[in-house]
A and B are shown apart, each in its own frame.
Chain A
């Protein structure tokens, strides 16, 4: 690993800093990229909602995908999770996953917190969490993880026998994140985790997301709340009507006049 890193730095000569697409940045090699999306296109009938986008998430990183309503953010995440037909390539840990079904994709280590939370209203909190372990055989570790997410979200612990449909919006969002964690994913796709939450709860959710990331999970974060997302992200992409129009570090984008004008009010 160290050898490899040195070699690549030598070959590149100088280390480039600004382009996150350049694979030799900071001597990173391809295996440091957990998710790579190449020329992704999603169509609904004759409308092309995602028109050939490419981006990547490096291992251990938080990447923000921001953009206005209808830009194609959710479509992108649904395509990655394998529940939407698309063209293009998606590589996870260097392996193509675009021919796998959604269940196999989860088994590989990609989980999603879907738009609108997607809580099963007819299942209890505990059942919602258990369902996400469908692909796991390590029953004992599942018990540990259950304890772990209840530590992370004490409000869920108090309500473990309550039906998902009767939780408040904030509690549902916590459950959606906890549920994704139960899959033991290496990469979490989060579709607007702050939607409809009070500012204080938004901050709490973001703090928890950063903790999850610190513990080693990579995050691809879709947000309307662009400033907040870009602040915690190491890299960001701006999506407009199915195209990526800008990318850079989170800070660069957050400070960019055009982003400020369009998304930060």
Chain B
């Protein structure tokens, strides 16, 4: 029983990181119908910014987190402006190829700076609590609480603010949104910034939880988070969160109770089965017909 609770905690930790990354995919997809395959590498940059903050700059926790988030937000905006904006009316496949290319560029730039895996020193003097055989570290609690906080904030932003309204309107019809006075380019850039900032936060938290990082770490994690976004219903913010937590849970539980060599195989077989049952994802809906 204690073992199960322990695994649930681990699943929440991993799931919240997947969920944060999945949000970036889903937001960009929602507003542009484009899959930003460079997003996993933005996550990686977030982790490396954490490393830089902890070593070179010697920043404390909060400023280091802000560095990862703002650094990635800026990176997201620059990528959008330079690489994706010129392709807005080009075939989708061009944008996808470009995104893969941008990802490779990010990986190799980081490789120049760090040819070896790096060890991220602790930014957080973590305490651990033992309750009835379950171990909870304060870092783990922090990761979960912070992620959930960011998700609640984002959910509020998308549902309750003018910016969120504009994001949803653009995702329905960009031209009409422009006709109604929404500064479409600015809102798209902001959406990229927010998605990338969440990816940066995920990279930061990931680097603290699993402190060995390398320039290719974003590839597999990015793919997984992308699949989480699809399972949740890509384009749907709550879906991305749900998908992230489900993926975290499936991975941890498979590894905990089944031979761990099959972890990814079984995890993804389960997720794909889910997609066969719900082709638009758990919370995704086919777009209602435009009248």
Contact = CB atoms under 8 A, between A and B. Distances in A.
B29 to A, nearest CB: 14
Of the candidates A127, A134, A166, the one having the most CB atoms from chain B within 10 angstroms of its own CB is A134
Interface stretch (A61-69, A86-94, A98-106, A233-241): A98-106
A103 B165 contact: no
A123 interface: yes
Given A118-B173, A132-B181, A165 B166 contact: no
Of the candidates B162, B166, B184, B290, the one having the most CB atoms from chain A within 10 angstroms of its own CB is B290
B178 A120 contact: no
A165 B285 CA distance: 13
Nearest to B285: A122
Interface string A118-146: 11111100010011101100000000000
Contact of B165 (A121, A123, A179): A123
A146 to B, nearest CB: 14
Contacts of B162: 130-131, 134
B181 A103 contact: yes
A33 interface: no
A172 B288 CA distance: 15
Contact of A122 (B168, B179, B182): B168
Contacts of B57: none
B288 A166 contact: yes
Given A123-B169, A131-B169, A169-B291, A114 B176 contact: yes
A172 B287 CA distance: 17
A60 interface: no
Given A169-B291, A172-B291, A82 B172 contact: no
B181 A165 contact: no
A105 B181 CA distance: 7
Contact of A130 (B165, B176, B287): B165
Given A165-B290, A169-B291, A122 B181 contact: no
A55 to B, nearest CB: 20
A134 B180 contact: yes
Contact of A134 (B168, B176, B182): B182
Given A121-B288, A169-B291, A131 B172 contact: no
Given A120-B168, A134-B166, A183 B181 contact: yes
B173 A120 contact: yes
A3 B35 CA distance: 63
Q: Give the contact-size bracket for chain B.
A: 20 to 34
B165 A131 contact: yes
Contacts of B169: 120, 123, 131
A130 B159 CA distance: 13
Contacts of A243: none
Contacts of A101: 183
Nearest to B165: A131
B45 to A, nearest CB: 31
Interface residues of A, number: 35
Contacts of B70: none
A116 B289 CA distance: 13
Nearest to A102: B178
Given A127-B165, A131-B166, A134-B166, A121 B290 contact: yes
Nearest to B163: A134
Given A123-B169, A165-B288, A169-B291, A118 B181 contact: no
Of the candidates A83, A116, A169, A183, the one having the most CB atoms from chain B within 10 angstroms of its own CB is A83
A163 B22 CA distance: 26
A265 B181 CA distance: 38
A111 B181 CA distance: 8
A117 B175 CA distance: 12
Contact of A102 (B171, B179, B287): B179
B172 A123 contact: yes
A105 B172 CA distance: 21
Contacts of A132: 180-181
Contact of B182 (A103, A116, A117, A119): A103
Contacts of B178: 81-83, 102-103
B97 to A, nearest CB: 24
A133 to B, nearest CB: 8
A77 to B, nearest CB: 9
A109 to B, nearest CB: 10
Nearest to B289: A165
Nearest to B290: A121
A90 to B, nearest CB: 15
B109 to A, nearest CB: 33
15 contacts: A83-B179, A102-B184, A103-B178, A105-B181, A111-B180, A112-B179, A114-B175, A120-B173, A123-B169, A131-B162, A134-B182, A135-B181, A163-B288, A165-B288, A169-B291
Question: Which 6 pairs of residues, A with B, have the shortest CB-CB distance?
Answer: A106-B181, A118-B176, A102-B178, A103-B183, A165-B288, A120-B172
Given A118-B179, A130-B162, A135-B181, 6 more contacts: A106-B179, A111-B181, A127-B168, A131-B162, A134-B180, A165-B290
